[in-house]
Amino acid sequence: MRQEKKKQVILDLIRNRRSVFPAQYNNKPIAKADIEKILEAANWAPTHKKTEPWRFRVLQGESQEKLGLFLSLKYLENDPNPKEFKAKKLIENPKRAGAIIAICMQRDPAQSIPEWEEVAATAMAVQNMWLCCTEMGIGCYWSSPGLVKHMNDFFEMNEGEACLGFFYLGYSDEEIPEGQRSPIADKVVWMD
C-alpha cells in the first residue's frame, strides 16, 4: 500500500509540473539553500558512461541585470529587424526572476558517446530541477533563445561546453492552471 501511495505522489508531481514565466513571478527571493537543493536534484540525472555533462552557472542580483542587458544588446546587434518589445522583454525578464541558472552541457572530451546523449542527459537534469521546484513551490521556466550561442561572450566557457538555455526561477502568487495532454493511447503502438 505504501509503495502504491509513493508511486501516486511521484505521478502527481510529474503531472503538476508547469512552466511558470518571469512575468508571473513576485519579488520573493530564493534562498541559496533551496537553489543548492535544486542543483543536487539535477546532479542525480541519468548519464550514459557517467559523463555527467550538465554544468550550471547561478545568476542572482546584479548578474541577472547584466545578463538581461547583454541579451538585449546581442539581440539588437544580430537581428536584422529587431522589435522594441522583444529587446525590452530580454532586459526585464532576468530582473523579475528570483534566480537564473544557465544550463550548459560539457561535451565528453573523448566523445565516448554521441553528443545528443549528453544533451539528453542535461535535459534530464533540468527535468529533475523542474520536479524539485514543483515540489518546493517554486515556479520555473526553461528559456532557450537563439542568443545562447553568444554566451561565451558573457561568461567564460570551457572548450567543448555549450549553453543550452536559462532556467528562470521565481515564486508566483498566481494560481497555476492544470495541464492538459492528449491520451497516451494516441501515442503508443503495442507490438507482440
Annotated binding-site residue? 18:
yes
- What is the pTM assigned to this prediction? 0.93
Residue 181 labelled as part of a binding site:
no
19 is annotated as contributing to ligand binding: yes
Quote the pLDDT of residue 1. 60
Residues spanned by the domain of 124: 19-171
SS (H, E, C) the chain: CHHHHHHHHHHHHHHHCCCCCHHHECCCCCCHHHHHHHHHHHCCCCCHHHCCCEEEEEECCHHHHHHHHHHHHHHHHHCCCCCHHHHHHHHHHHHHCCEEEEEEEECCCCCCCCHHHHHHHHHHHHHHHHHHHHHHCCEEEEECCHHHHHHHHCCCCCCCEEEEEEEEEECECCCCCCCCCCCHHHHCCCCC
Is residue 142 situated within a structural domain? Answer: yes
Confidence grade of residue 177 (pLDDT, cut at 50, 70, 90): confident
103 assigned to some structural domain: yes
- Binned at pLDDT 50, 70 and 90, residue 5 comes out as confident
Domain count for the chain, please give it: 1
Q: Decide if 81 is inside a domain.
A: yes
Any known ligand binding at 48?
Answer: yes
| pLDDT > 70: percent of the chain | 99
CATH number of the CATH domain containing 50: 3.40.109.10
44 belongs to an annotated ligand binding site: no
Could you tell me if residue 8 is inside a domain? no
